[in-house]
Amino acid sequence: MKKICILLLAFQMLISPFKSKGMMELPPPSCVGYLDHWVTRGDIFRFKGPIKYVNGLLEEHFEFNSSEINRTFNLDISLLKGDNCYYIDNLYVTVTIPQGVNKFSLRFTSGNNFVIYDDVSNIPLTCDGCNNTFNANASDNNKTYLYISTDYSNDEVEFTMPTSIYDPNPVVSKTPILIVPGILGTEIFKGI
């Protein structure tokens, strides 16, 4: 009987997908129909929305519970292409935020690179996993799918819909032109 139970358990493990706390599920095959919001479980850290774009590139802001001692989490982020969110590349890194830093942000510096900043001092953090580059090159319509989790708690933050890296609604600024007549300016004559 014991051998049968072991065989059944082994068979179930083969046909059931494994899910680990720091491993993200595959990105959705299409962006269509997915809700556009953050899901936060636990109270170690949380998303500090809304999403914003600075100089046309994505920034995502988070905050640690100030009493939290363990500052390590797993960052799993996929690079996706186009409106159908085809999978291009993935980064899985462990990040340790230094003590004393409670507010931090993930800021893209290009379509395939992001840096983690201390939001209070507004300077990049120097820590393992704080400066990351995807192997794949990104284009204007690339998106990311972000999942953060801890190994030591059931705390996780996940964005349920892939997010555009580049601002999808950029504001086009107009450059003012000042015309100053001078010595070489056009002469205007009245009555000629």
Q: Examine the pLDDT at 3 and tell me if it is beyond 80.
A: no
Whether 116 shows a pLDDT value over 90: the answer reads yes
| Dist. CA 16–CA 32, nearest whole Å | 27
DSSP-derived 3-state class of residue 77: strand
Phi, psi of 189 (to 5 degrees): -115, 135
pLDDT in tens, 26-41: 555 566 656 567 888 8
Q: How would DSSP label each residue in 114-131?
A: EEEEETTTTEE--STTSE
- Any idea which of 18-32, 68-82, 159-173 has the lowest mean pLDDT? 18-32
Contact 28, 162 (CB under 8 A): yes
Q: Which domains does the chain have, with CATH numbers?
A: 38-164 (2.60.40)
Specify the 3-state DSSP secondary structure of 2. Answer: helix
